[in-house]
Structure 1
Amino acid sequence: MVFSLTPAVNDCLVISEIFELIVDSLCPRTRKCTLAAFARTCKTLHAASIPRLWKHQDGLTQLLRLLPPDTWSEDTFPSGGNVFRITVTDPKRLDWTRFDHYAEHVQHLVWEEPRNVSLFALTAIDVSRHGKKPLLPGLRILDWLEPRATHSPFVRLFLTPTIRQLGLMASDVEPSVMTALFEHVGTVCSDIESLIILKDAQGDNTREFTGVVGHALVRFLRGLPDIKSFISEVRIPADCVAALAALPRLLEVGFYVRQKEMEILAGRASTARSSCGAPWFDALEVLALGTDQMDESLQTFLGAMPAGRLRRVVLEFRQQPDTDTVKQHLALVARAASRDALTSLQLDFDRTHALDASSPVLDVGDALRPLYAFPHLATLVIRIPALVVRARALQDIAHAWPELSILSLMSDHAHPPRRDAPCLALADLVPLARNCPQLDMLTLHVNADDSQLPDTAALARLLPEPSRSPLRVFTACDAGIGDPRKAAAVLVRLFPGLREVEYGGTTRYVGNAHVAFKRKWMAVQALLARRSDVSEQSARAVPARW
């Protein structure tokens, strides 16, 4: 029997919204194969499938294979993989008709140091396309993750005014190459809305833009009036941050500056605050900032932020301050944040430094007090060399932020750091189980020794009704544990939806103790998994009711 599409069905499929729903419902792993099958079915499905089939491309090889077959070849490496080569002697005579027909559909290109296109092929393409329209005229997202200096100039093949999101790899090349890259991109792509500068994975972690490269980046940023997001894994100078602060539509920024640059920025921020109408991150909603330490310079910087806009904050430092200093800075964050919109806070400190008896210890409950008035916090992450979390702090957190989804409070040094701050017990997690109905991931330093576990009667008093907490993942850091079955029973009572239990940390317990506790927490995970399997089998055995 032969089936054919009726005209009504044809009319439905050419409605892009309907076809988008169909495509989005396909399995991601087989989506391209399915789209290719659609394209071979009929003219209607061909026209609807082709744009989606070519929308995203990892590299250029698939398109280059559309060139006339007698103009190119693919050689196989002895170690595996192919390399594409242009074989014609005069690249200017290449026929780009089929290539251009499909290239117009490409909206997202990822160029990640591909070894499958030879340098000579790129040179031939550059010669052949010189003076013609861009290779991908409809490109909107370009991830140029190319660390090789020899290949960096070929980014010009893909630059087009239609690009709105750009990712660049800051490779360790000559300053003149990076300067030319910023200048060329700035000339062609003036309507960029999102810019991400990534660091070469093999490069120096202390890499920064200085001198002529920094000046070129400043000029580039000043020429992007519509940019909404800027993220840089490479350290940037104060002039770049000042240029970002003046951009009228910038909603998200992430950068790292050295301490001396932060001191310069403090002066700029102070001037902006004292000057009526001077811009200083006027539209900013997401701030991710890294520097050496919390000090007066950072306070001045944060104090200049406009009030009531921040909704997500990430602060990263090399040196851990004391509790009062953290509290003062969070008070400035609270001033700049929106009470009804602040949803995420993350504090990261370098946890590799050795501590001594005089090193500060962060009292989490006291430090967070300025933010307890923000009811919609959903993510709280604090990773620090030394911290203490008291049972009362968990109560305050649970009552202040009922919408918490992720809570992670951890350090990498021996815990507890002070005798007057005992480690949390599993019973101390009851406020989270009762008051945080959206909690999904939890990371804490706890103690699950038998002496610290509540018996059935005590747990019933603390939690009269079984919890409905949806907690899925629990990570117990530096956590001693006695009987895995008893610990699992308490966790199930607290968090009936728990699926993954992990043991983290190697600072308090080492050697045989660490191995023994890790094995017991793995036993807890096995007990939870077995319980989950039994529950699913029971659910399948119950007949459906109609």
Structure 2
Amino acid sequence: MHPCLANPDIQSLIFRYFGATVHSQGVRDDLHSMNALPVLARTCRAFTETALSVLWLSLPNVVPLVKVMPSHLWSGIDKTRTRVYILMFTSTPASTDWERFDYYARKVQALGFYSLAGPLWNIDNNVMTTLAAHCSARPLLPNIREISFSQRAPQRPESVSLEFAQCLLSENITHLAITGGYPTVTLIDAIRRICPKIETLDIDLDRALEFAVVTAMKHLVCALSHLQDIRVSIMRPRKFQLERDALYHIGMLPSVKKFATGLMTPDELQGLASQDNCFPSLLSFSFAVESLEEAVPVLNIVTRPLTSLTVTLSRTAKPTSSPIQLYYFVENVLLHPCHASLTHFKLTESNVFLFDSYPSHGPTDMRVLFHLPAIESIDIHPEIELSTGVDDAWLAIAASTWPRLRVLKLGQTQTTLAGYVPLIRGCPLLEEISITSVWAPFDVRGLDPFLGNTRIEYIDIVRTQIEGEVLAVLRCLLLLFPRLRGFHKDFGGGDWDILQNYLDISLRCG
């Protein structure tokens, strides 16, 4: 073994890379990565302990810990034949049966952050009771730092008993997520009592909450004085407002650097706007509105030099926004203190037809975006019509204006594949690109054969058209992106299948 590999820090970096549980390429690469980790660990005995620490660093639930116990103690039953397994104890564990459980439990730092691969496990009440009894005087996972209560893991929020919640929770937890379920008041109160050091709070609930639950949520938020990153999205009953106190508390915390929220009521807006020195340290702001016209007063609540801004357009009724409003919104951003510091700008929406069939009658020249000089990531929803404002010349200006650009995602444009050339030249850090455009072959004579971007392996495709010979298009693509492996697209067939087949052949041929 090379002496450098004996360094524990270097080993940890290597195994953390292979053990990453989330990849932009999806579940297939996720499984490949997690299988590669134990294979690599078996090549050298010195790797064993480091590899085990990474493998057990993050778990989807407590099921793997129970399954390292003697096999006669537990069973998994698929009662509904839907790959939803119920984990239960078939007999009571003796004190010696907990040794392996406790050994691996000390390695777990995150619980409930799961991969989409594999079956779904739920935990029977007798398992929760047994685990709670085993650790009645201490946390079940002594080194836990992050925990997520969600629909999948470690258990649905509404079914977590107070005793089980208390054994999972620890005063060392700094990252807490409650998503997609219906948390109980007892669970929220337990979190408030046991976890005072929470720095990251993610609450994303898909059902309207009862008065008592919302009140408990408010008390939880108001009790946390170390918050740095908070995202709150709750479907609330109509005319039901109880978050003003919590918002005021968040707005006055000097530690809060990231804040994301859903639609805010006029009362909440007024409450925040009336605060002096609101969000004194905020760097990242994400919010939802029903139109871009409503986004301006929300943005003006925060008078800080933001580095990240995300606006979500959320409507279920007939849309009232038009592409022109994007132009005017960006003009308002230029008047905000963040115009010189903004590095990440994202405009998305929850209704995919929001901008369809709206003619452009007014200024839509998207060169206005170039007045945001620090941009490193720009993401505008693909349904937003930009065809009158973004073309190949626009891409060339973008390359010279934003040399540190990493992400470029745009709506419908007039760009072509040839327009990517100055972008690749001028933005060496580019790692994600998605532009609705026309892919046609272009003359590659005279171009540097080493021009290509080696960071991008997959390209997101939305409404892009292929014109001309498919093989010629592939040659141009491989010049621009020599490590290209495939496309993420919401459609298939025709030239796209042919292009992917040609690409697969080129990859096999090396």
TM range (shorter): 0.7 to 0.9
Supply the distance in 2 between the matched residues of 1:399 and 1:111 (Cα, whole angstroms).
Answer: 40
Q: Which amino acid aligns with 1:442?
A: I
Is residue 2:435 matched to residue 1:444?
yes
SS at match of 1:301: helix
The number of residue pairs the alignment matches comes to 465
Deviation, 1:191, is: 0.2
Is residue 2:354 matched to residue 1:348?
no
Kept in 2, the 8 Å contact 1:320–1:349? The answer is: no
Is residue 2:166 matched to residue 1:156?
yes
Supply the distance in 1 between the matched residues of 2:108 and 2:483 (Cα, whole angstroms).
Answer: 43
Deviation, 1:121, is: 2.5
Q: Alpha carbons of 1:440 and 1:68: their partners in 2 closer, same or farther (altered >3 Å)?
A: closer
Kept in 1, the 8 Å contact 2:139–2:167? The answer is: yes
Structure 2 regions of 5+ residues with no counterpart?
19-32
Q: Which moved more, 1:343-352 or 1:60-69?
A: 60-69
Residue 272 of structure 2, aligned match among 269, 272, 278 = 269
Supply the distance in 2 between the matched residues of 1:360 and 1:181 (Cα, whole angstroms).
Answer: 50
- Which position in structure 1 is the counterpart of 2:87? 83
Residue 110 of structure 1, aligned match among 98, 109, 112 = 112
Q: Which moved more, 1:148-157 or 1:283-292?
A: 148-157
Supply the distance in 1 between the matched residues of 2:363 and 2:475 (Cα, whole angstroms).
Answer: 28
Supply the distance in 1 between the matched residues of 2:131 and 2:434 (Cα, whole angstroms).
Answer: 52
- Which position in structure 1 is the counterpart of 2:309? 313
Q: Which amino acid aligns with 1:306?
A: T
Deviation, 1:338, is: 6.6
- Which position in structure 2 is the counterpart of 1:245? 251
Q: Which amino acid aligns with 1:149?
A: E
Q: Alpha carbons of 1:68 and 1:306: their partners in 2 closer, same or farther (altered >3 Å)?
A: same
TM-score normalised per structure 1: 0.70
Q: Alpha carbons of 1:438 and 1:530: their partners in 2 closer, same or farther (altered >3 Å)?
A: farther
Question: Looking at CA atoms only, which structure, 1 or 2, has the larger radius of gyration?
Answer: 1
Residue 135 of structure 1, aligned match among 125, 135, 140 = 140
Supply the distance in 1 between the matched residues of 2:435 and 2:55 (Cα, whole angstroms).
Answer: 45
RMSD: 4.2
Q: Alpha carbons of 1:477 and 1:442: their partners in 2 closer, same or farther (altered >3 Å)?
A: farther
Structure 1 regions of 5+ residues with no counterpart?
417-422, 507-514, 537-546
SS at match of 2:12: helix
SS at match of 1:387: coil
Superposition map of 1:43-192 within 5 A = 54-64=56-66, 72-74=73-75, 77=78, 79=81, 83-85=87-89, 87-88=91-92, 98=99, 99-100=101-102, 102-110=104-112, 115=121, 117-127=123-133, 129-130=135-136, 132-145=137-150, 146-147=155-156, 149-153=158-162, 154-172=164-182, 178-192=184-198
SS at match of 1:337: helix
SS at match of 1:295: helix
Q: Alpha carbons of 1:387 and 1:117: their partners in 2 closer, same or farther (altered >3 Å)?
A: same
Superposition map of 1:320-339 within 5 A = 321-334=321-334, 335-337=336-338, 339=340
Q: Which amino acid aligns with 2:482?
A: G
SS at match of 2:166: helix
- Which position in structure 2 is the counterpart of 1:482? 468
Q: Which amino acid aligns with 1:468?
A: L
Deviation, 1:184, is: 1.4
Q: Could you report, residue by residue, the CA deviation over 1:315-350 in whole angstroms, capped at 9, with x for unpaired residues?
A: 1103463345323433444524273x5332111134
Superposition map of 1:521-540 within 5 A = 521-528=496-503, 530=505, 536=510
Deviation, 1:114, is: 6.2
Q: Could you report, residue by residue, the CA deviation over 1:379-428 in whole angstroms, capped at 9, with x for unpaired residues?
A: 433333533243243343233222223222225xxxx8xxxxxx444444
Q: Which amino acid aligns with 2:381?
A: I
Q: Could you report, residue by residue, the CA deviation over 1:99-145 in whole angstroms, capped at 9, with x for unpaired residues?
A: 54553443222387964642123224435544x22222322122222
Supply the distance in 2 between the matched residues of 1:18 and 1:448 (Cα, whole angstroms).
Answer: 43
Supply the distance in 2 between the matched residues of 1:293 and 1:349 (Cα, whole angstroms).
Answer: 10
Kept in 2, the 8 Å contact 1:293–1:320? The answer is: yes
Deviation, 1:473, is: 4.2
Q: Could you report, residue by residue, the CA deviation over 1:238-270 in whole angstroms, capped at 9, with x for unpaired residues?
A: 524443222221122222125xx1x22332233
Q: Which amino acid aligns with 1:271?
A: S
Identity, in percent, stands at 16
- Which position in structure 2 is the counterpart of 1:377? 376
Supply the distance in 2 between the matched residues of 1:356 and 1:489 (Cα, whole angstroms).
Answer: 34
Supply the distance in 1 between the matched residues of 2:339 and 2:397 (Cα, whole angstroms).
Answer: 20
- Which position in structure 2 is the counterpart of 1:510? none
Supply the distance in 2 between the matched residues of 1:293 and 1:529 (Cα, whole angstroms).
Answer: 43
TM-score normalised per structure 2: 0.75
Supply the distance in 2 between the matched residues of 1:486 and 1:111 (Cα, whole angstroms).
Answer: 43
Deviation, 1:189, is: 0.2
Supply the distance in 2 between the matched residues of 1:363 and 1:533 (Cα, whole angstroms).
Answer: 50
